[in-house]
Amino acid sequence: MKKQYTVGVIGATGMVGQRFLTLLADHPWFSVKVVAASPRSAGKTYAEAVGAKWCMTCEIPEQVKDLIVMDATGDVEKIASMVDFVFCAVDMKKDEIKALEERYAKAECPVVSNNSAHRHTPDVPMVVPELNADHIHIIPAQRERLGTKRGFVAVKSNCSLQSYVPALFPLSKFGVKDVLVCTYQAISGAGKTFKTWPEMVDNVIPFIGGEEEKSEKEPLKIWGKIEGKEIVPATSPNFTAQCLRVPVSDGHMGAVFVRFENKPSKEEILATWKDFQGRAQELKLPSAPKQFLHYFTEDNMPQTKENRMLENGMAISIGRLREDTQYDYKFVCLSHNTLRGAAGGAVLLAELLCAEGYMD
Ligand SMILES: NC(=O)c1ccc[n+]([C@@H]2O[C@H](COP(=O)([O-])OP(=O)(O)OC[C@H]3O[C@@H](n4cnc5c(N)ncnc54)[C@H](OP(=O)(O)O)[C@@H]3O)[C@@H](O)[C@H]2O)c1
């Protein structure tokens, strides 16, 4: 791998795009050379284009503030020639995003995407680097389909499942059979703040469009296996989900009920979580948390406000593991939706792809 990679952020003026820029500001391997957004922003400096939409708690990073915003759809070839790869987080129609990401890949520019458009494309890896890092080895098959030497698309999964899937996946050795999960999701997941969504103060909305389907279907791809030229989703565990929007700025919590083929003891579950290390930890990737899964013994933990920033918002907090009367066990879990669940997860995936030689 190289010592330094130049990167572009497509959709840089959006909420996830801003998060990318703040995470990349001091990144040891990546430096941002291109910011791109819609034609409405193109041609302006980044600071002008983002204007009052800047919603991070820190200032706009110095390196990007005066960059001229490029046109994400009109300047594909030019952008591809300027960077080693791009991060993508655009708000467009799904088929437009799919086509746009493939245009970058075909221009020999790898895409690490935050968008959902390609999550179920069979030769596109959807990766949580601690869990299914091996799925990136589908990339040669994807390159063959696209007719590229370097270009490909890799995606991260939806933010909702990044609390409970990390907790459940390491328990696969006990045969995870049925999972019922209720998620309590922050407003930043909708790209909103309390300022832009005042109706959410003192409120709960029992519906998030498309979220329950994603929460039930995407885990099966993560549990899937490479067979020939595609990733074949697993047929179990069986997931059922209800997703609620709650008045929280950042941090998605999940309340989980789980049934196993071979019910483990509570001690076995706790030991599995404590000892779990993924590929991201083995490779010591810069954004990887040292301890991926943290178990809290206090009855009233983890709490969203207190624990969402654990290990820079990249670790998963778990608590309240106990036996259940209908399922085998129940527990709660928490992850930061715009860090682990969005931009941070994508940066970690890009680090994995660099370390495994796919960005050279
Ligand atoms: N927010 C989250 O926590 C979260 C989590 C996971 C996934 N996601 C996904 O990430 C993506 C971005 O989300 P977001 O919340 O950051 O959205 P957002 O704040 O609405 O930002 C959208 C970005 O897309 C650009 N854009 C819009 N229309 C475009 C077009 N026609 N051509 C090129 N660029 C265009 C915008 O540029 P302008 O500023 O020029 O309009 C802006 O940079 C979405 O697919 C979303 O579903 C979000």
| Ligand 1 pocket mutation, candidates 21, 91, 101, 103, criterion most atoms within 8 A of CB | 91
Integer-rounded Cα radius of gyration of the chain: 20
Q: Which ligand 1 atom sits nearest the alpha carbon of residue 19? A: 16
Q: Could you tell me the distance, in angstroms and rounded to a whole number, from the CA of residue 268 to the centre of ligand 1?
A: 42
Q: Could you tell me the distance, in angstroms and rounded to a whole number, from the CA of residue 104 to the centre of ligand 1?
A: 17
Q: What is the pLDDT of residue 113?
A: 98
Length of the chain: 360
Q: What is the pLDDT of residue 84?
A: 98
Superfamily classification of domain 5-158+342-355: NAD(P)-binding Rossmann-like Domain (3.40.50.720)
Q: Could you tell me the distance, in angstroms and rounded to a whole number, from the CA of residue 15 to the centre of ligand 1?
A: 7
Q: Work out the pLDDT band at 68, boundaries 50, 70, 90.
A: very high
Tokens of 114: 């935050």
In this prediction, residues 286-301 reach a mean pLDDT of: 98
Q: Which ligand 1 atom sits nearest the alpha carbon of residue 17? A: 16
Q: What is the pLDDT of residue 347?
A: 98
In this prediction, residues 16-37 reach a mean pLDDT of: 97
Q: Work out the pLDDT band at 355, boundaries 50, 70, 90.
A: very high
Q: Could you tell me the distance, in angstroms and rounded to a whole number, from the CA of residue 327 to the centre of ligand 1?
A: 39
- Measured CA to CA, the distance from residue 155 to residue 112 in angstroms comes to 6
* Per-residue DSSP letter, 268: H
Domain 160-336 in CATH 3.30.390.50:
no
φ, ψ at 289 (rounded to 5°): -70, 150
Alpha helices (H) along the chain: 15-24, 46-50, 62-65, 76-82, 94-106, 139-146, 164-168, 211-222, 266-275, 279-282, 304-307, 310-313, 344-355
In this prediction, residues 85-104 reach a mean pLDDT of: 97
Q: Could you tell me the distance, in angstroms and rounded to a whole number, from the CA of residue 320 to the centre of ligand 1?
A: 35
Domain edges within the chain: 5-158+342-355, 160-336
In this prediction, residues 306-314 reach a mean pLDDT of: 98
CATH topology agreement for domains 5-158+342-355 and 160-336: no
Q: What is the pLDDT of residue 186?
A: 98
| Ligand 1 pocket mutation, candidates 40, 90, 337, criterion most atoms within 8 A of CB | 90
Q: Work out the pLDDT band at 123, boundaries 50, 70, 90.
A: very high
Q: What is the pLDDT of residue 184?
A: 98
Beta bridge partners of 332: 255, 319
- Measured CA to CA, the distance from residue 250 to residue 192 in angstroms comes to 10
Other Cβ atoms closer than 10 A to 133: 22
**Strands 230-232 and 225-227, sheet pairing:** antiparallel
Q: What is the pLDDT of residue 42?
A: 98
Asked whether 336 and 313 are in contact (CB, 8 A), the reply is: yes
Q: Which residues are catalytic?
A: 159, 252
- Measured CA to CA, the distance from residue 45 to residue 41 in angstroms comes to 8
Residue nearest to atom 27 of ligand 1 (CA): 91
**Which of 16, 357, 4 has the alpha carbon at shortest distance from 156?**
16
In this prediction, residues 2-29 reach a mean pLDDT of: 96
| Ligand 1 pocket mutation, candidates 18, 20, 34, 38, criterion most atoms within 8 A of CB | 38
Q: Work out the pLDDT band at 38, boundaries 50, 70, 90.
A: very high
Residue nearest to atom 30 of ligand 1 (CA): 38
Q: Work out the pLDDT band at 110, boundaries 50, 70, 90.
A: very high
Q: Work out the pLDDT band at 328, boundaries 50, 70, 90.
A: very high
Q: What is the pLDDT of residue 297?
A: 98
Give the binding-site residues of ligand 1, using a 6 Å CB cut-off.
Answer: 11-17, 37-38, 40-41, 72-73, 89-92, 114-115, 159, 188-189, 191, 337-338, 342
